[in-house]
Each structure stands twice: as structure tokens, then as C-alpha cells.
């Protein structure tokens, strides 16, 4: 009997990436030059939000998805922060609510009007103060409405109940800056990576660390839960400074199940997981490639499919939620790629090639929708529920009935776990003081120039008056 190679059949074996035409891209966007390792982009079925370069404070653009083409330089911005904006995330249940965090230590909730901004927005519906250092990450809870997580450079994760506009829990188990946060499907577990080279699995309501991995051979940067298969995937750097991914068993983080080296480039690897198709996408910061794999429950676990290649380097990537995809084109994933050098936002569709134009049920299972499964009080009391699922068969038409109502509250102390977070705030860092000094110097210089111009104008008027008095007509 002759030997035959074993071929693995997969419906996603021929998935390919398709870049949108230039007229369907967003051009002329002043993308931020900040070197913080975030995506600086967030997208939902209505809007695209991008953090922009700005002088004096932080800002971001919010553009309706249908408004493609060149963006005017004076396009209205959301510009209420006093420091650079470091992260933005759309509410998964209310499509015109977005959260942002900044170097000014605040987290802010913004309500975008229907149709987008007509003028600059400076007033947030909610301003949240609790961190004593800049805030680098925000994440919405996947199943509970109005529950927001924020991670700051004070090494703390705060859990905010937006119904009352206050922090209700604090996770204080990290010893260095938190790099990434990821939830499992029902939001009962939180996984974090930290600059102290540790991967942690945390019960978020109690703050208890359930599992901890000290990664000596694999320095972790990013982590993502792989749906309901009780697996975690991390990206990081090996001891030889090559980019690497590792697959972990959620129940035992003592050793990774698989470690695989990717390449020798230096840019951060961003992982994206699609629980509906069990596909993993790896995109490198600073390079234009997106690799994709299929995740299996048996060895070898990671099955390489293909690679999307592009010469334009990406600074970050936004991901469209499932209900915003074009199911008639068999689109299973869509990225919004930030190309800083060109000021361009480029949609990239991942498509399963099919001849039939009918709805493909095998690649579009029931997927999490826009209805929350829990209220904040239910989740905080200990309840867990899976997301409420929806079908994409008839196209996305159902609008969420959830409405955001900002609480009315007075300025007061913020006490979590018996600690007043706003009491004895540490002094400002040297960089913060220098930034304030230079900002004040610029303001003084501007005022001096205005006074100088006014002084010149006064002298001109005096000279004109003198000439009028000495003219022959007056004599």
C-alpha cells in the first residue's frame, strides 16, 4: 500500500484579504504619532474613531462609515482631554457611546450625535477620575451593560459602574504597568499581561488571581481568550528576541501547550480572534502583513492558513463587529488599517471564496448581538450569563433599545476597597512638570506677540492722527 500525505480539510483554507478601493478609504487623517502600543482606532457598525495628532491636549475623530474619501483638515473633533488620548473603545451595546482614556489621568464617556459631529465636542457626558497616573487601557465588559474596566500607570485596574458614575471595584495585584486586558466569553474571567513578564488569570469581581505564569522564555506582550475552548493565546518575544506566540491551557498556566516563533522583526504582534470561525489573525506593528491561523482542539492546535501582504506599514488596526460585515460577499472579518505616513485608513476584508450568492450558514453561526445579558448590579452580585446571540441571515436591522443615561453626581471622594483614590495623589512626574512648563512658555510667548502687534497698531494710529492735525486742510 503506497503512502499518501494527510491533507487537512478546512472551509477557511482559501480565505484571502481584499483591500478597499481608494474611494472607500478615509484619506487625509492626521493620525497620532504617539508611540504608545495601542491601536488608536475603534470601529462599530456606524462610526470610525481615530486618535489624531493635536497640540495642547488630546483629541480623536469620529467619522460616519459612509463618509469615505478625503477628510477636511477642519473636520470636527472630540477634544475634551487635557493630555494625549491613549485608548478608545465603543460601547458594544450602545453604538453612539465611546469611552476614552488619557495622560490626564481621566476616563471619559462621550455621546456622539446621530450622523456624526457638526462641531468640536469638548463636554463629555461622564468624566471618571480615580487613577493617580495616566490611563493606558479601557475595556467594556462583554455581557454586562455599563460596566467599564480601566488600567492605569498606577498599576491598578478600576471597574466602573456607569449607572452611578463611580468605581466599584479595584484590582491591585500588578507590580508594573498593565499591557493588555482580555475577557472570556461571559466576562467571568479577566486575563492580563504586565511589564513584570507575568501572565495572570483573574476573577474580576474579587480581584483574586486564579492562575499566574512567570514567562521566562516567552516575554508576553498581548493576550486574547480563544472563545469557549478554555485556551489563551499570547504574543511576545523569545529569549533570542524573535517574535513568538504561545498557546496556554486556562486551567494550568505552568507551561504553554505550544510555542511557535514567527519571525525576527521587532514590532509588536497584535492578536485578533474570531470565535465564530475559530480563526486567529496576527498583525505586526510597523509591518504590512497579517497572518491567519485556524485554531483546533487537538494537536497541533495552530494550523497556519495564509498571509495577507501589503507594502504599507500599519500603526494599528480597528476591527468591525460581526453585525457590521457584508454577509452577501462572504466577508468573515474586516480590519481598518492605520497607515500613518499617508494619513490613510484602509479597510481590509477577509473573504471566504464561494460561488453561491445565497446566505452561507456554515460560516455565519449565531453570534453575540447588541443586547446586554446583565445589568451592572446583576453582574456585581455574582451572576454570569453568556452573550445574547443573533443571526446575520436577514442582515443587521435590529437596533438596540439600550439608552445611556449619565448619572448626576457631586464632586466627592472616590473610595474603593476602603482606599480614597483621590486622597494623597502622588506628585507630578518630571515629564508632566516639563510639559506644563513648556505649555505655559508657549502661552506667554503668544500673549507677548499679541501685545507687540497691538503696540505697533497704536503707534500707527498715533502717527496718522498727528499727520491729520498737521495737514494743510486743518490749517
Question: What is the pLDDT confidence band of residue 460, given thresholds at 50, 70 and 90?
Answer: confident
Contact yes or no for 111/404 (Cβ under 8 A): yes
CB-based burial of residue 150 (10 Å sphere; 0-12 exposed, 13-18 middle, 19+ buried)?
Answer: buried
CA distance 113 to 331: 29
Task: Give the end-to-end CA distance of the chain in Å, rounded to a whole number.
Answer: 125
The C-alpha cell that represents 156 in the structure block: 491598578
Q: Supply the pLDDT for residue 278.
A: 93
pLDDT over threshold 70, residue 471: yes
470/318: higher pLDDT: 318
CA distance 189 to 471: 88
The C-alpha cell that represents 257 in the structure block: 501547550
Number of alpha helices (DSSP H) and beta strands (DSSP E) in the chain: 2, 34
The C-alpha cell that represents 103 in the structure block: 495622560
- List CB contacts of 462: < 8 A, sequence separation 6 or more: none
Q: Supply the pLDDT for residue 78.
A: 94
- List CB contacts of 458: < 8 A, sequence separation 6 or more: none
CA distance 141 to 3: 51
CA distance 244 to 133: 31
Contact yes or no for 136/36 (Cβ under 8 A): yes
Q: Sign of the C-alpha dihedral, residues 353, 358, 362, 368?
A: positive
Question: For residue 275, what are the CA distances in angstroms to 97, 223, 350, 361, 401?
Answer: 25, 15, 15, 15, 25
CA distance 110 to 76: 14
Angle at 382 between CA 381 and CA 384, to 5 degrees: 125
Report whether the peptide linkage leading into residue 300 is cis, meaning its omega lies within 30 degrees of zero.
yes
pLDDT over threshold 50, residue 1: no
DSSP 8-state class, residue 400:
P
* Residue range 382-401, pLDDT digits in tens: 999 999 999 988 754 455 56
Question: For residue 336, what are the CA distances in angstroms to 203, 272, 344?
Answer: 32, 13, 10
| Closest to 380 (Cα-Cα) out of 185, 182, 207, 211 | 207
Q: Supply the pLDDT for residue 418.
A: 57
Region 466-472: mean pLDDT is: 79
The C-alpha cell that represents 124 in the structure block: 463629555
The C-alpha cell that represents 12 in the structure block: 477557511
Question: For residue 54, what are the CA distances in angstroms to 6, 39, 150, 362, 432?
Answer: 56, 17, 23, 46, 17
What CA dihedral angle connects 380, 386, 391 and 396, to 10 degrees? 20
Q: Supply the pLDDT for residue 419.
A: 59
Question: For residue 204, what are the CA distances in angstroms to 151, 228, 396?
Answer: 13, 18, 32
Express as a percent the part of the chain with pLDDT over 90: 59
Fold designation for 16-395:
Methylamine Dehydrogenase; Chain H (2.130.10)
Q: Supply the pLDDT for residue 466.
A: 83
Contact yes or no for 60/77 (Cβ under 8 A): yes
* Residue range 200-225, pLDDT digits in tens: 999 999 999 999 988 777 889 999 99
The H or E element containing residue 432 is helix 430-470
The structural domains of the chain, with segments of one domain joined by +, span 16-395, 412-465
CB neighbours of residue 86 within 10 Å? 24
pTM, whole model, 2 decimals? Answer: 0.82
Q: Supply the pLDDT for residue 417.
A: 57
CA distance 150 to 90: 14
359/381: higher pLDDT: 381
The C-alpha cell that represents 404 in the structure block: 445611556
* Residue range 248-271, pLDDT digits in tens: 999 989 888 988 898 888 888 999
Region 85-103: mean pLDDT is: 94
Region 290-314: mean pLDDT is: 90
The C-alpha cell that represents 213 in the structure block: 505564569
SS3 of 87-134? EEEECCCCCCEEEEEECCCEEEEEECCCCCCCCCECCCCEEEECCCCC
Question: What is the pLDDT confidence band of residue 37, given thresholds at 50, 70 and 90?
Answer: confident
Q: Supply the pLDDT for residue 474.
A: 55
8/288: higher pLDDT: 288
| Closest to 125 (Cα-Cα) out of 62, 86, 78 | 78
Polymer length of the chain: 475
CA distance 156 to 192: 12
Q: Is 276 helix (H, G, I), strand (E, B) or coil?
A: coil
Region 261-283: mean pLDDT is: 91
pLDDT over threshold 90, residue 445: no
Question: Most distant CA pair in the chain: distance in Å?
Answer: 125
Express as a percent the part of the chain with pLDDT over 70: 89
Region 96-119: mean pLDDT is: 94
* Residue range 403-429, pLDDT digits in tens: 666 676 554 455 555 555 555 444 455
Residue found under cell 515629564:
431
* Residue range 157-181, pLDDT digits in tens: 999 999 999 999 999 999 999 999 9
Q: Supply the pLDDT for residue 396.
A: 47
pLDDT over threshold 60, residue 3: no
Amino acid at each position: 500500500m503506497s503512502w499518501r500525505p494527510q491533507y487537512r480539510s478546512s472551509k477557511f483554507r482559501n480565505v484571502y484579504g481584499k483591500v478597499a478601493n481608494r474611494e472607500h478609504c478615509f484619506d487625509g487623517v492626521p493620525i497620532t504619532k504617539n508611540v504608545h502600543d495601542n491601536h488608536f482606532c475603534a470601529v462599530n457598525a456606524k462610526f470610525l474613531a481615530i486618535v489624531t495628532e493635536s497640540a495642547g491636549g488630546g483629541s480623536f475623530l469620529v467619522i460616519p462609515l459612509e463618509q469615505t474619501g478625503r477628510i477636511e483638515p477642519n473636520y470636527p473633533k472630540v477634544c475634551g482631554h487635557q493630555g494625549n488620548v491613549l485608548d478608545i473603545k465603543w460601547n458594544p451595546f450602545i453604538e453612539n457611546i465611546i469611552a476614552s482614556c488619557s495622560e490626564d489621568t481621566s476616563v471619559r464617556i462621550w455621546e456622539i450625535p446621530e450622523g456624526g459631529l457638526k462641531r468640536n465636542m469638548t463636554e463629555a457626558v461622564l468624566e471618571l477620575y480615580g487613577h493617580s497616573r495616566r490611563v493606558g487601557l479601557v475595556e467594556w465588559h462583554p455581557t454586562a451593560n455599563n460596566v467599564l474596566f480601566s488600567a492605569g500607570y498606577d498599576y491598578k485596574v478600576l471597574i466602573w459602574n456607569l449607572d452611578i458614575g463611580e468605581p466599584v471595584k479595584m484590582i491591585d495585584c500588578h507590580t508594573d504597568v498593565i499591557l493588555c486586558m482580555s475577557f472570556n466569553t461571559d466576562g467571568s474571567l479577566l486575563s492580563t499581561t504586565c511589564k513584570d513578564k507575568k501572565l495572570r488569570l483573574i476573577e474580576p469581581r474579587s480581584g483574586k488571581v486564579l492562575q499566574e505564569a512567570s514567562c521566562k522564555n516567552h516575554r508576553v506582550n498581548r493576550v486574547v481568550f480563544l472563545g469557549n475552548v478554555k485556551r489563551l493565546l499570547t504574543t511576545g518575544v523569545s529569549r533570542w528576541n524573535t517574535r513568538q506566540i504561545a498557546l496556554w491551557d486556562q486551567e494550568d498556566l505552568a507551561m504553554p501547550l505550544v510555542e511557535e516563533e514567527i519571525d525576527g522583526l521587532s514590532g509588536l504582534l497584535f492578536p485578533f480572534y474570531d470565535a465564530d470561525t475559530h480563526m486567529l489573525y496576527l498583525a505586526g506593528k510597523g509591518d504590512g502583513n497579517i497572518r491567519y491561523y485556524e485554531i483546533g482542539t487537538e494537536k497541533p492546535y495552530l494550523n497556519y492558513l495564509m498571509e495577507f501582504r501589503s507594502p504599507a506599514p500599519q500603526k494599528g488596526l480597528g476591527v468591525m463587529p460581526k453585525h457590521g460585515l457584508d454577509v452577501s460577499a462572504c466577508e468573515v472579518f474586516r480590519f481598518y488599517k492605520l497607515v500613518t505616513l499617508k494619513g490613510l485608513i484602509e479597510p481590509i476584508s477577509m473573504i471566504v471564496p464561494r460561488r453561491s450568492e445565497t446566505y452561507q450558514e456554515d460560516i455565519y453561526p449565531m453570534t453575540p448581538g447588541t443586547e446586554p445579558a446583565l445589568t451592572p448590579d446583576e453582574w456585581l452580585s455574582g451572576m454570569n450569563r453568556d452573550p445574547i446571540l443573533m443571526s446575520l441571515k436577514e442582515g443587521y436591522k435590529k437596533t438596540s433599545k439600550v439608552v445611556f443615561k449619565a448619572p448626576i453626581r457631586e464632586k466627592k471622594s472616590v473610595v474603593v476597597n476602603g482606599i480614597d483614590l483621590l486622597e494623597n495623589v502622588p506628585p507630578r512626574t518630571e515629564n508632566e512638570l516639563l510639559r506644563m512648563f513648556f505649555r505655559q512658555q508657549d502661552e506667554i510667548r503668544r500673549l507677548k506677540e499679541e501685545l507687540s502687534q497691538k503696540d505697533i497698531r497704536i503707534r500707527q494710529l498715533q502717527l496718522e492722527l498727528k499727520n491729520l492735525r498737521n495737514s494743510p486742510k486743518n490749517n
